[in-house]
Amino acid sequence: MTFTGQSLGWGVLDWMERHLPSPADPEQPFVLTDEQAEMVLRWYAVDDEGQFLHRRGALEMAKGWGKSPLAAAVALAEFVGPVVFDRWEGGEPTGRPWDNPVVEIAAVSEDQTDNTYSAIFEMLAANDHAAARALRIDDGRTRLYLSGRPGVLRPVTAASGSREGARLTFAVLDETHLWTRRNGGVKLAGTLRRNAAKMGGRTLETTNAPVLGEKSVAEQTAGDPGVMLVARRPTVEPDPNWDDERLTAALREAYGDSWWITGRLDRLVQEIRDPATSWDDALRFYFNIRSAGSGRAVDPRRWDFLAEPRDVPSGTYIGLGFDGSISQDATVLRGCTQDGYTFLIRAWVRPDGLARTDDWTVDRSDVDQTIATTFARYQVGRMLCDPPKWYTEIEGWQTRFGLDSEGESIVRALDTNQARRFAPAVDRWLTAIREGTYHHDDDPLTTQHVKAAHRQQVRLAEDGADGRTRYVLIKGDDRGRIDGAVADVLAYEAAMTMPAVAPEIEVLAAWG
């Protein structure tokens, strides 16, 4: 172990070994691995005033690393162990139990609370309830009480909720990669943290590597500087083309000194090689690497990496992509240069706080004027528009902006509801993102929409397609907007398919 600071954790580790049985062999004491012990020491580290260094913690580890037994042991320590700073003895901090502990094991469903709560119950019930008797705990199947003094340890779920303002000294937030706004997990996490904060308590999350872009509690937690994040990952992200020996070495890095797993890594390699296991799932669950998820159109990390904001001077030869709405979704106009750089020209978005029934619509005259000004500023080689609800305007733009150097309309409709037309454009866009021949302006709205976009498989058999699986963009389960992503696809497709040479036209000299 490398921990050298001041910590109540030394006393907690001693308490665990004296009172709790091993999950692997109840006849033996619960002795943590060096890595687990290091986590406990960090979690209970204190400053010179005896205050904890961390108000929240997150244990993000590979599947099977031992998160649930460790969280169970910490929860029991928070229930009856020496986890509250008491005094200094010989220059070292010593602890005492809470006077009236309220510990909650929280998850978004009852089945998930069983991960940690079952581990707690099994420790207490092992050896004819020896630990429960020694610690004076009434070990009930649904909740635990202390004999002779106040205290409760109970499971809670997003469905049952946790009362706002209720007493709470400690909570385990279990499997927070599954906690989202949609299932009530984000709300539950906020309530638990507030309840713990007012008592001087803390919360500890357990999680597998989350899917990026889902905005789960686990994903958001990692960005909080006040959180003690414990996460072990391979030094190099594995590749599905690696041989078994190299995958095994990466697994050994991910699982550290978890001896119950490292002795049978070949079994994990078999699971990873199984065609039913997606590579995204293998990365998340076995290598503890955050991934975009199998349904996500673009890996958020890749998108962020390709951000390269720059000016696009007046007179530049560009393609345009337009995705129009009326009142609910966004209306977005994006441009793209010949070398594959996309940028926002204008977006029209329903103001925040307006209900769906409130009277607000996109100002069509403003959209029309913006497009006219854009044509005046740049040399537009092609403009692709998603036509629903904008057919009349598109016909007008076709007449106004005329033909390109090949005698074709500069403004064209590309119905994104028609897979045979939209999928090839999405394929070109995704390929460019993957190969790095594409860059973008890092516009916040477009970034949000791209990260919300999912992909759906389609198979094209028409002439011009090779019959292989392609994709279109769709909304995810959270119904997040993707209009900026669609406009970006159309802008890139316009720039890549417009005539190679810009026509000689007069461009507006002054702009703005």
All structural domains of the chain = 9-231 (3.40.50.300), 244-294 (no CATH), 303-497 (3.30.420.240)
Per-residue pLDDT, averaged over 141-154, amounts to: 91
pLDDT tens digits, 85-113: 999 999 999 999 999 999 999 998 887 78
Q: What b/e sequence results for 73-105 when a residue is b if at least 16 CB atoms lie within 10 Å of its CB, and e otherwise?
A: bbbbbbbbbbbbbeeeeeeebebebbeebbbbb
Lowest mean pLDDT of 169-178, 209-218, 291-300, 455-464, name the range: 455-464
Question: pLDDT higher for 296 or 54?
Answer: 54
Nearest to residue 44, comparing CAs of 66, 64, 16, 24?
16
**Residue 485: pLDDT above 50?**
yes
Q: Which helix (H) or strand (E) holds 89?
A: strand 84-89
CB 469 within 8 A of CB 502: no
**Residue 381: pLDDT above 70?**
yes
**Residue 511: pLDDT above 70?**
no
**Residue 471: pLDDT above 90?**
no
**Residue 161: pLDDT above 90?**
no
pLDDT band at 3 (very low <50, low <70, confident <90, very high): confident
**Residue 361: pLDDT above 90?**
no
Nearest to residue 45, comparing CAs of 89, 19, 90, 11?
11
Question: What is d(CA 245, CA 239) in angstroms, rounded to the nearest whole number?
Answer: 12
Q: What is the DSSP pairing of strand 331-337 with strand 341-348? A: antiparallel
Nearest to residue 25, comparing CAs of 172, 143, 126?
126
Lowest mean pLDDT of 244-248, 329-333, 348-352, name the range: 348-352
**Residue 124: pLDDT above 90?**
yes
**Residue 468: pLDDT above 60?**
no
Region of residue 45 (phi > 0: left; psi between -120 and 50: alpha; otherwise: beta): beta
pLDDT for the residue numbered 264: 92
In the chain, the amino acid numbered 11 is G
Q: Which tokens hold the place of 38?
A: 């290091």
**Residue 429: pLDDT above 80?**
yes
pLDDT for the residue numbered 168: 96
Q: What is the phi/psi pair of residue 58, to 5°?
A: -145, 125
pLDDT for the residue numbered 456: 82
**Residue 141: pLDDT above 80?**
no
Proportion of the chain above pLDDT 90, given as a percent: 71
Per-residue pLDDT, averaged over 277-295, amounts to: 85
Q: What beta strand segments (E) does 181-307 contain?
A: 202-207, 227-231
pLDDT for the residue numbered 459: 65
pLDDT for the residue numbered 467: 44
pLDDT tens digits, 195-207: 999 999 999 999 9
Mean pLDDT of the chain: 90
Question: What is d(CA 171, CA 103) in angstroms, rounded to the nearest whole number?
Answer: 5
- CA 274-277-279 angle, to 5 degrees, is 110
Taking the model in full, what pTM does it have?
0.69
pLDDT for the residue numbered 56: 95
Per-residue pLDDT, averaged over 459-470, amounts to: 53
